[in-house]
Amino acid sequence: MIRSRILGTGSYAPRKVLSNKELESMIDTTDEWITTRTGIRQRHIASDDEPNSLLAAKAGRNALEMAGLSAEDMDLIIVGTFTPDMPMPSTACLVQAELGAKRAGAFDVVAACSGFLHALAIADKFIKAEPTQKILVIGSEVLSRRTNWSDRSTCVLFGDGAGAVVLAASEEADSGVMSTHLHADGRLWELLTVRGLGTSCMVDEDMLKQGLHYIEMNGREVFKHAVRALESAAMEALEANGWSGEDIDLLVAHQANIRILEFLRERLGLPREKVFINIDKYGNTSAASIPIALDEANRSGVLKPGHKVLMVSFGGGFTWASAAVTW
Ligand code: COA
């Protein structure tokens, strides 16, 4: 049986760090409120000359290096993002050029915070259909450019960064990507959205004045849906693989809020050390959060061959997804 396998991971975060303390001088908030309500202590912010594609390419290069492959070995580059450099071309095409991945096709996937797991699911199916394929899968966001820095209910949450994996076929039946599941409920789109910059409204002064180019979120409602959807995504993945909570060696869930991660940990009956947490350092980096966490877990030696890894995400759309991987 052909399975796809992660050959390398990589990540990149912009050098500039914005701490909760610094936010205290920008808006009416406190380090204590942000830390206890969200678990976030700081976030990375891209500088003006760092577009999404640059972050994505750096993460991609790191993943290729670990995999021992060159950009020219890649058949496909998929980037999960909702903060592209521009509407056209795709960020994936710009990454393809930046890396010199001459043979690779390239496209973006838009599924907000579930973007990376959607991209991973597509890459997994590609490899099963064509086992010679080697695919670079990236989740990358520059959310700071879509953040309303005068809205304290959202601006404390987000950060910039990128993470990547290199996928290729493996004949080992009991390791690699074991399952992927994707879900959406588009009826609830207004609870988490960037209304402007698309074709449903004109880009004009009025639109900019209303701040429609910024992320809008009904935090309380999103929270309720997120916990339910993440739990159901986790249960679906466990059932599909005949795993129980006890079988999981590491839960790598979307880093949106420490309280959501704690809820999920309890529902799955996991001890604290089996839930990977880096929200304190990065905030919510949307599609980049899972691959950054995966890379940190991998490089720090937390992940070991044979480990059962459960990844789950939830985001705007709404979208939610899972991937179960035996490392
Ligand atoms: N600093 C200080 N106070 C703040 C604040 C901030 N940055 N942001 C909001 N508040 C205040 C509110 O004004 C409110 O005050 P009030 O009670 O006087 O009206 C109070 O804190 C509680 O606000 P609420 O929105 O109920 O807080 P919360 O406990 O729900 O936490 C979120 C807010 C955003 C952290 C939380 O709802 C959340 O994490 N939601 C889900 C986020 C998510 O998962 N998003 C992405 C999915 S990909």
The pLDDT of residue 71 is 98
Closest C-alpha residue for ligand 1 atom 15: 153
> Domain check: are 182 and 157 in the same one?
no
Q: Which atom of ligand 1 is nearest to the CA of 152?
A: 7
Residues 247 and 313 in one domain: yes
Best of 223, 259, 290, 314 for a ligand 1 pocket test (most atoms within 8 Å of beta carbon): 223
Q: Is the CB of 223 under 6 A from ligand 1?
A: yes
For ligand 1, whether the C-beta of 109 sits within 6 Å is: no
229 lines ligand 1 (CB under 6 A): no
Strand ordering across the sheet containing 250-253: 176-184, 319-326, 308-315, 250-253
* Cα-to-centroid distance, 277 and ligand 1 (Å): 20
Q: Based on the fold, state whether residues 216 and 311 are members of the same structural domain.
A: yes
Q: Which of 172, 197, 223 is the last residue of a domain?
A: 172
For residues 187 and 57, membership in a common domain is answered with no
CATH code of residue 182: 3.40.47.10
The Cα–Cα gap between 109 and 232 comes to 23
Rg (CA), the chain: 19
Do 240 and 136 reside in the same domain of the chain? Answer: no
User: What pLDDT, on the 0 to 100 scale, is given for residue 213?
Assistant: 97
For residue 153, how far is its CA from the centre of ligand 1 (angstroms)? 5
Q: Tell me, what's the pLDDT at 152?
A: 97
Helix (H) or strand (E) holding 129: helix 115-129
Judgement on whether residues 73 and 215 belong to the same structural domain of the protein: no
| Dist. CA 220 → ligand 1 center (Å) | 7
Which residues make beta-bridge pairs with 77?
A: 106, 136
Among this protein's residues, is 284 annotated catalytic? yes
Q: What is the mean pLDDT of each run of 10 residues along the chain (327 residues)?
A: 96 98 97 98 98 98 98 98 98 98 98 98 97 98 98 97 97 91 98 95 94 97 98 98 97 98 97 97 98 98 97 98 98
Phi-psi region of 283 (alpha: psi -120 to 50; beta: other; left: phi over 0): left
pLDDT at 172: 84
Which positions ≥6 away from 201 have C-beta within 8 Å? 195, 207, 212
pLDDT at 174: 87
| Shared-domain flag, residues 185 and 210 | yes
Told to judge if 218 belongs to the known catalytic residues of this protein, a careful annotator would answer no
60 and 147 assigned to the same domain? yes
Out of 153, 172, 191, pick the residue that ends a domain: 172
- 270 and 192 co-located in one domain: yes
Minimum-distance ligand 1 atom for the alpha carbon of 314: 48
Asked whether 56 lines ligand 1 (CB < 6 A), one says no
**Range of the structural domain that residue 124 is part of:** 3-172
Residue 69 Cα to ligand 1 midpoint, Å, equals: 44
Report the number of distinct structural domains present in the chain.
2
Co-location of 253 and 321 in the same domain: yes
Ligand 1 touching residue 38 (CB < 6 A)? yes
Contact 91, 99 (CB under 8 A): no
Residue 152 beta carbon below 6 angstroms from any ligand 1 atom: yes
User: Are 146 and 210 in a shared domain?
Assistant: no
Which pLDDT belongs to residue 171? 81
Among 141, 172, 203, the domain boundary falls at 172
Would you state the pLDDT for residue 284? 98
Our answer on whether the CB atom of 33 is closer than 6 Å to any ligand 1 atom is: yes
- Tokens read off for 101: 């991945």
Catalytic residue check, 254? yes
In terms of domains, do 240 and 161 share one?
A: no
